[in-house]
Amino acid sequence: NVVSLSSTTISKDKLLDGLLVSSFDEASCFSRYRSYLYRKTSPHKPSKYLISKLRNYEHLHRSCGPSTKFYNKIMRKGTKFNKIDVSTKCKYLVWTAANGLGNRIVTLVAAFLYAILTDRVLLVKFGADMSGLFCEPFPDSSWLLSRSFPYWKDQKHIETYENILNNFKDTVFHHLGRYLLHPSNEAWEIIRKFYEAHLARANERIGVQIRLFNTHRPPHQTVINEIVSCTLQHKLLPDFNAQKSVVSPLKKTSKAVLVASLFSEYGEKLKTMYQTNKTVTREVIRVYQPSHEERQKSNDDMHNIKAWTEIYLLSLCDALVTSPKSTFGYVAHSLGGLKPWILKRAYNETIPDPPCRHAKSMEPCFHYPPKYDCRDNSTVDFTSLFHYMKHCEDVSGGLKLV
Ligand code: GDP
C-alpha cells in the first residue's frame, strides 16, 4: 500500500533512521523533525548498537538529570564531589566552553561520546553566548547545568576529563552530532529562510569555507585562485569560457555557492567572477555569503548564532571545500556526512599544487593528540598501534578516525 509505505519512509527519514525518538513536541524545536527535508538522506545508517546506546543514555539522563532526586542532592551547596559513592548509578560529566564554536561543538560531541561509553550524564554549562543556539536533545529532561550549581564559577572541585577518541565506525561525529545538535527555533528560522531564498532551487549546492588565522594571511586573490583551481580540478564548478565569441546554449541547471568567511572580500570576488564571466557549460553559478563578521567574537550571542547557522548551512550543501585546521569546517562536513576537499595552506602569491586534497574520512581531526607511551617511556606514533587512526590531511601531527 503506497500511502503507508510513504508514511513509513517519512517517519524513518524524519527520525534519521532511528537516531531520534518521536516523543518531542515538534513546535519546541522545528529543526529536529524538519531538517531532513533540507538535505539528502544520509547514506550512513546508524548501527543498532548505537541506537540502543542512545536509548539507554536517554533513560539514564531522565533518571539522573535535572530535577531528579539525586541531581537535586548534588546541587546542594557543600556536597563534596569526591565523597560521592562511586558505585552510584548517577555520575555526571560537565562540559564547559573554550575557543570558537567549531572547537566547542567538536568537544561537546566528544564529551557526549565519553558520557555514553562511561554511563555518565552529560550536563552543559552554557553562558548567554551559547544558550540560544541549540534545542534540548534529550527527551523529558534538560542538558543545561543550572546556574544554581554551587561551582558554576569555581571549577576547582570538579574532576575534569580529557576527551577521548574511541574505536567506532568513520561516522561517530556524523551520528552523534545529528542526534545532539538541533538548531534552536531562532537559529532554524535564519537557516530555513536563507536556504529557501538562495539554495533550495539550485541543482547543486557547493559550500566554501574560508578560515584564515590571524598569524597567517595570504593575499585574498591567491586564496580565490586556489579555490577556483580546486573546484575546477574536482569538477565541482565549471571552467570559465575564454572564447567569448563561441555561444553555446544556456544550460538549465544552476549551482549555488555558499561562502562562509569572516571577510566579505571572498564572497564579493567570487560573485563578480561568476557574474562577469561565462562558464564553458553555460551553467548559472550564484554566489552567496550570509555574513562577514570581520573578526572572531566568540562571547557574543548574535555572532555565535551567525557562526552556527553558517556551519549548519554548509552542512546542507552537496559538496564542501574547507580551510585547513579549522574545527568550524570539521563540524560542517561531519554533520553533513561529507568528505570535504581541504585547501592546502597558501603562503604567498603561489597557488599550492595540488590546491586541495580530499579528506580520508568524515571525522574531525584531533590537532594535538598525546604522543607519549607510558609503558615504553618514549614517544609513539599512535597510527602504528591503531589501524583505524590516521594522520590528518591538514595537520600532519594530528589524528583522525578513518
Ligand atoms: P576554528 O578556529 O576555525 O577551529 O573554529 P572555531 O569555530 O572554534 O572558531 C572560529 C570562530 O570564528 C567561529 O566560531 C566564529 O565565531 C568565527 N568565524 C570563523 N569563520 C567564520 C565564518 O565563516 N562565519 C562566521 N559567521 N563566523 C566565523
Rounded Cα distance, 14 and 181, in Å: 15
The CATH number assigned to the domain with range 202-359 reads 3.40.50
Condensed to tens digits (0 to 9), the pLDDT of residues 175-233 reads: 999 999 999 999 999 999 999 999 999 999 999 999 988 666 788 899 999 999 999 99
Query: Which of 296, 304, 308, 333 to probe ligand 1 with, by most ligand atoms within 8 A of CB?
Result: 296
Extract the C-alpha cell encoding 128.
Answer: 548567554
The CA 100 to ligand 1 mean position distance, Å, reads 6
Rounded Cα distance, 340 and 260, in Å: 14
Contact 363, 342 (CB under 8 A): no
- Confidence grade of residue 155 (pLDDT, cut at 50, 70, 90): low
Q: How many other C-beta atoms are found inside a 10 Å radius of the C-beta of residue 368?
A: 9
- Decide: 296 in ligand 1 pocket, CB within 6 A: yes
- pLDDT at residue number 73: 83
Extract the C-alpha cell encoding 359.
Answer: 579528506
Give the CA-trace dihedral at 360, 313, 207, 311, to 10 degrees: -60
Checking ipTM against 0.90, whether it exceeds it is: yes
Closest atom of ligand 1 relative to the 306 alpha carbon: 26
- Confidence grade of residue 386 (pLDDT, cut at 50, 70, 90): confident
Closest atom of ligand 1 relative to the 323 alpha carbon: 3
For Cα atoms 72, 63, 101, give the angle at the middle one, nearest 5 degrees.
80
- Confidence grade of residue 160 (pLDDT, cut at 50, 70, 90): very low
- pLDDT at residue number 161: 38
The CA 307 to ligand 1 mean position distance, Å, reads 6
Half-sphere exposure of 372 (CA within 13 A, CB side): 2
Residue 370 preceded by cis peptide, ω within 30 = no
Contact 325, 214 (CB under 8 A): no
Extract the C-alpha cell encoding 100.
Answer: 570558537
Condensed to tens digits (0 to 9), the pLDDT of residues 276-314 reads: 988 888 899 999 999 999 999 988 999 999 999 999 999
The answer to whether the Cα torsion of 269, 271, 275, 280 is positive or negative is positive
- Decide: 133 in ligand 1 pocket, CB within 6 A: no
The CA 102 to ligand 1 mean position distance, Å, reads 7
The average pLDDT across 134-140 equals: 97
The span from the first CA to the last CA of the chain, in angstroms, equals 41
The CA 48 to ligand 1 mean position distance, Å, reads 34
- pLDDT at residue number 215: 61
3-state secondary structure of 64: helix
- Confidence grade of residue 375 (pLDDT, cut at 50, 70, 90): confident
The CA 361 to ligand 1 mean position distance, Å, reads 22
Q: How far is residue 75 from each of residues 68, 72, 81, measured CA to CA in Å?
A: 11, 5, 10
Whether the pLDDT of residue 39 is over 60: the answer is yes
- Decide: 328 in ligand 1 pocket, CB within 6 A: yes
Ligand 1 atom 9 nearest Cα: 100
**Residues constituting the chain:** 402
Q: Where do the structural domains in the chain lie, given as residue ranges? A: 2-180, 202-359, 365-402
- pLDDT at residue number 370: 87
The CA 291 to ligand 1 mean position distance, Å, reads 12
For Cα atoms 185, 187, 190, give the angle at the middle one, nearest 5 degrees.
110
